[in-house]
A and B are shown apart, each in its own frame.
Chain A
Amino acid sequence: MTWAMFVQHTLNGLTLGSLYALIAIGYTMVYGILRLINFAHSEIFMLGAYFVFWGITLFYLPWALAIVGAVIVTASVGILVDRVAYRPLRDAPRISALISAIGVSFFLQNVTIVVFGALPRQVHRPAWLEDPILMGDVRVLPLTLFVPALSLLLMLGLVWIVYKTKPGLGMRAISKDIETSYIMGVPVNRIISLTFGIGSALAAASGIMWALRYPQLQPVMGSIPGFKAFIAAVFGGIGSIPGAVIGGVMLGVIEIMAVAFFPDLAGYRDAFAFVLLIVILLLKPTGLMGEKLEDKV
């Protein structure tokens, strides 16, 4: 393997990894606060991508406006999902909310098929995104530079919200003990809605980035990236925001490098991610940056 190739592989891995990271942040945030694995997250991700391109092709919105609009609409969908499917189950056993999440995921997928059609749709990217930057033999897409920066920025923003703001204080309180938070006057439902709103806005951002990198929209486009991001979140330690970013980036790089070093095994690329998940669960069940699991009595 030449140096140029190695660098090219690394950059490809970083792009893919930071996309995983963006999705993983949303997973980990909801889990950290509610201990709920929001399986509908991958569908929210898909909706975010659809909304942007709907805005552009149907309402002729400029890019920036379409993106902002899509993020807002997607966040509202996330809040609505919480209101309809999770809030009534807040006091039910955790498994009920999990099953509800799977139901929501199927529901959103099928609604998308009805509304947008099942045929994959092509995304027309702005021209400046299509031209790679040349550095010797290495070709870098503008997104390759932009996506990791965006992931990092959003991660820092989130950490700031969670640790430095009042709603963030509420989130941390709820994650420790939801009943006591009620008693202490934390507006629990409003904080949880906010959590879902932020989580869904993040999913929309990653959906848009994903669609710009892999320009095709499909109602089922969220499933595989969703799974991978979930693995990334577990890898990094579910509940931890920096953990999700590190997990996502590492998973992307490992996946690409696995193909780079063992080209013959390229067909089993997805298997690497799942093997990684099993190994982590066996060796370090809480992930790289995870907190120790405590059984709540």
Chain B
Amino acid sequence: MKRLLTLVFLMVFALTGGAFAADTVKIGVYLPLTGQMAFGGQLELEGVQMAHKEMPTVLGKKVEIFVVDNKSDKVEAANAVKRLIEKEKVVAIIGTYGSSLAMAGGEVAEKARVPMVGTSCTNPLVTQGKKYSFRVCFIDPFQGAGAATYAYKDLKLKTAALLVDVSNDYSVGLASFFTKSFTKLGGQIVANLKYQAGDQDFTAQLTEIISKKPDVLFIPSYFAEGAIIMKQVKELGAKFRVMGGDAMDNPQIVEIGGAAVEGFVHTTFPYDPSMKNMSPMAKKFTENWKKAFPSKEPNVNAALGYDTYLLVLDAIKRAGKAEPAAITKALVATKGFEGVTGSTTINATHDAEKPVGLVQIKDGKKTYIGSITPQL
């Protein structure tokens, strides 16, 4: 009797499971919703969800999204992707914020041959040598060169110091690309100090940096640490400017950083609500966001999440069927896909080429000050 029951249950499961698979297109999302990178992951998820609400169907079928928190941790990221592929049987994966996480997750997706589109993982290694990894953002050599060019040419800063998170591929990579471009332009790196993700005391490193008297301190940090670093920079009375990368982009930066972030400049992707000449799509995104989240400004991470979802849907449409291999082929052929963060063309290395945007905190406001085409 027991065996018969089990059999019946199994059959019911098999039937319903089969029925679901035919009716919906399953897309996986893995993002850091807790931990060090939660600031960015949360915004990207909201972007994805907003896009899903606006475009809930593809090829006449309902799109179902499965969200897994990768907890800002490399091991959790690999597990998250495994779960999405093996348990939820998704046909494509969106994610993630954080290059270290994207590299760990990308390995798993590569083996399972499921396409993955990165939102804001900018380290070159994320897509290098991978057939199934893509992204809608530019890569760090480009961004590092952008920051260095702006510091050296526009601000005329000749000496720089670095404070790098050694446990993060993004941070280490961006620091080395900044160094390369800055020294090539003629600048000098006077100090290169390190910390580890989760540290909260930077006074020792900063005291050392201050003694070297640099013109600018470049922090390729995530927002959680970056905000504390800048507070301690101010407490220790440093006079130099501070610059950072796209991971410092956060709508609450002024609210959180207060006077400590005044004058801070960071590179980012070409979208910000303070942008002057917005594309119609960016305008529409900004308006819709303000309707959905009246108390919160949109930012570029939300826009990238939004774009990634639309790109995946576009690829499924072009592929004509929701199968990983066909979607991958369609992603490779992406040309001039219009998104909130500009037009996306996937190049030979599976990366998107976009200009580097610059944001400065001026008079207590996050201000988009223009874009730059870096000298590589």
Contact = CB atoms under 8 A, between A and B. Distances in A.
Contacts, number: 93
B193 A216 contact: no
B35 A220 contact: yes
Interface in A224-270: 224-225, 255-256, 259-260, 263, 266-267, 269-270
Contact of A256 (B166, B203, B252): B203
A269 B228 contact: no
A5 B237 CA distance: 13
B204 interface: yes
Contacts of B200: 214, 216, 221, 224-225
A38 interface: no
A130 B204 contact: no
Interface string A1-18: 110010011001101100
B113 interface: no
A187 interface: no
B208 interface: yes
A191 interface: no
B57 to A, nearest CB: 31
B235 A139 contact: yes
Given A2-B211, A120-B224, A139-B236, A12 B204 contact: yes
A83 B231 CA distance: 40
B228 A216 contact: yes
B343 interface: no
B207 A8 contact: yes
Contacts of A122: 227, 252, 255-256
B231 A215 contact: yes
A141 interface: yes
Nearest to B203: A12
B38 interface: yes
B33 interface: yes
Contact of B34 (A12, A16, A214, A219): A219
B196 A270 contact: yes
Interface string A178-210: 000000000000000000000000000000000
Given A122-B227, A216-B224, A220-B35, A259 B235 contact: no
A16 B201 CA distance: 8
B194 A266 contact: yes
**Interface bin, chain B:** 20 to 34
B195 A269 contact: yes
A64 interface: no
A132 interface: yes
Interface residues of A, number: 38
A119 B39 contact: yes
Given A119-B42, A216-B224, A260-B208, A266 B237 contact: no
Nearest to A132: B235
Nearest to A119: B38
Max chain A CB contacts within 10 Å: which of B35, B201, B211, B227? B201
B193 A120 contact: no
B373 interface: no
Contact of A263 (B167, B191, B201, B231): B191
Interface in B195-234: 195-196, 198-201, 203-205, 207-208, 211, 224, 227-228, 231
A16 B232 CA distance: 13
Nearest to A8: B207
A118 interface: yes
Given A141-B235, A214-B228, A216-B227, A267 B196 contact: yes
A113 interface: yes
Nearest to B225: A216
B368 to A, nearest CB: 23
Contacts of B211: 1-2, 5
Given A216-B228, A218-B224, A269-B199, A259 B42 contact: no
A5 B209 CA distance: 11
A259 B208 contact: yes
Contacts of B255: 122
A58 B208 CA distance: 39
Contact of A9 (B42, B204, B227, B252): B204
Interface of A: 1-2, 5, 8-9, 12-13, 15-16, 113, 118-120, 122, 130, 132, 134, 139, 141, 214-216, 218-221, 223-225, 255-256, 259-260, 263, 266-267, 269-270
Q: Which 4 A/B pairs are nearest by Cβ-Cβ distance?
A: A267-B194, A118-B34, A259-B204, A267-B166
Interface of B: 33-35, 38-39, 42, 164, 166-167, 191, 193-196, 198-201, 203-205, 207-208, 211, 224, 227-228, 231, 235-237, 252, 255-256
11 contacts: A9-B207, A13-B204, A120-B38, A132-B236, A214-B228, A216-B200, A218-B224, A219-B34, A266-B193, A266-B208, A267-B195
Given A122-B227, A141-B235, 14 more contacts: A2-B211, A122-B252, A122-B255, A132-B235, A214-B201, A216-B200, A216-B228, A220-B34, A224-B198, A259-B208, A260-B204, A266-B208, A267-B195, A270-B196
